[in-house]
Amino acid sequence: MSASDFLILNHVSKVYRRNQSLLERLKKSESGGTKAVSDVSLTVRYGETMGLVGESGCGKSTLARLVSGLMAPTSGEISFPPNASGNKPRLQMIFQDPYSSLNGRWTIEDIIAEPIRVHKLRNGRAAIRARVDELLVQVGLSAADAEKYPQEFSGGQRQRICIARALAGEPEFLILDEPTSALDVSVQAQILNLLRDLQKNLHLTSLFITHNLSVVRIMADRIGVMYLGELVEEATSEELFRKPRHPYTRLLIDAAPDMDTSDRSLHPIAGELPNPAFPPSGCRFHTRCPFAQDICRNTVPPQKATETDGMFRCHFDLDLSNASVFPPAAQVKTA
């Protein structure tokens, strides 16, 4: 642990338990459950944007909820080392759907002023109103918009309001859970550019969660790749795309179609995502991995550190810097 560590996750796990019957509860038997996040260790440094990518069901949103304190982890610990002033950092969240995360009966002023009032960051009506206007301008809206209701805005504008509301709490730490997935491409670019500017100007530390590798590549300094609740690889953004160490990362990078019309080949990942409630034994990715061998089926791979301060979980040290490393047989459909 160094002075620049902002957030430390230490072997964090979260199990969603199913409801037990009365008899089971009386017998105090151990119930099964879905391990949504399992044994994730992660460090976010001060001023850095940590990206988390993965497919649906990989536990990335659960991890966001754990970090934000909306849920308690089943095991492991999440800690914010005290900063210079000795206080815990203020934290805000931005959600995916700007249509359901704003109260339609409140004006924009009420919405943005709420965190200011709750945290007593400004005193007096006039001061609060001035701060709301300032925030609206900061996110690219106008002060006149404060009188309006959320329904009067488009999706991109609503997301700007959500960002203004998050900034109103004067956070040091921002959790963004798929902030642009519900938006169109041209609007997504606006929001991403806005977020990038804000992060730079306000020196925010953030956790950026998305399923889109291109988006996270633009936004994040470091990226963690999750698969079925496990963090399978973690590296700097540049390193992850230049030289991925885990086969899943490589396959995920190749699977998204790019805009090159001269090479029209598609690269699906063999098989389907297993049910997260019953993850495969050994390495969780072995059912879809083109390099899988017997050891992968039986033994959980160790967590290995890379020389560039990254981490990956694989039995082998594979060189995956080139897209054409896979045998053609690996790309046939098996599902």
Partner 1 sequence: MINATAPLLDVRDLTVTINRDGRLVTALDKVSFFVNPGEVLGIVGESGAGKSITGAAIIDLLVPPLKRTGGTITLAGTRLDQLSPKAMRSVRGGRIGFVFQDPMTSLNPVITIGQQLCDTIQAHLKLGGSQTRKRALDWLDRVGLPNPDVQFKRFPHQLSGGMRQRVVIALALCADPVLVIADEPTTALDVSVQAHILELLRDLHRESNVSMMLITHDLGVIAKMADRVAVLYAGRVAEISPVGELFNTPKHPYTRGLIRATPMPSATGEMRLDQIPGAMPGLGAVPPGCAFNPRCFRAQGDCRATIPPLYHEKSSAFSCFHPLERVTA
Residues lying near partner 1 in the complex (CB under 8 A) are found at 55-56, 154, 156-157, 184-190, 192-193, 211-215, 217-218, 241-242, 251-252, 255-262, 264-269, 272-273, 288, 333, 335
Helices (H), 54-95: 60-68
60, 36 Cβ separation under 8 angstroms: no
Interacting residues of 301 by C-beta distance below 8 A, sequence separation 6+: 282, 283, 313, 314, 315
* Secondary structure (3-state) at 92: strand
Strand (E) or helix (H) holding 169? none
User: Between 108-118 and 155-168, two packed helices, what is the crossing angle to 10 degrees?
Assistant: 20
* Secondary structure (3-state) at 156: helix
CB of 89: closest distance to partner 1 in angstroms?
A: 28
- Give which of 305, 303, 278, 282 is closest to 293, Cα–Cα: 282
- Whole-angstrom distance between the N-terminal and C-terminal Cα of the chain? 44
Q: How far, in Å, CA of 138 to CA of 158, rounded?
A: 14
CB of 214: closest distance to partner 1 in angstroms?
A: 4
- Which region holds residue 282: left if phi is over 0, alpha if psi is between -120 and 50, else beta? left
Q: Which is nearer to partner 1, 33 or 268 (by Cβ)?
A: 268
Q: Which is nearer to partner 1, 6 or 227 (by Cβ)?
A: 227
Identity of residue 48: E
Q: Which is nearer to partner 1, 28 or 333 (by Cβ)?
A: 333
CB of 208: closest distance to partner 1 in angstroms?
A: 13
Residue in the block written with tokens 């017997």 = 294
CB of 57: closest distance to partner 1 in angstroms?
A: 9
CB of 196: closest distance to partner 1 in angstroms?
A: 8
CB of 238: closest distance to partner 1 in angstroms?
A: 9
Q: Which is nearer to partner 1, 256 or 305 (by Cβ)?
A: 256
Q: Which is nearer to partner 1, 85 or 201 (by Cβ)?
A: 201
Q: Which is nearer to partner 1, 144 or 335 (by Cβ)?
A: 335
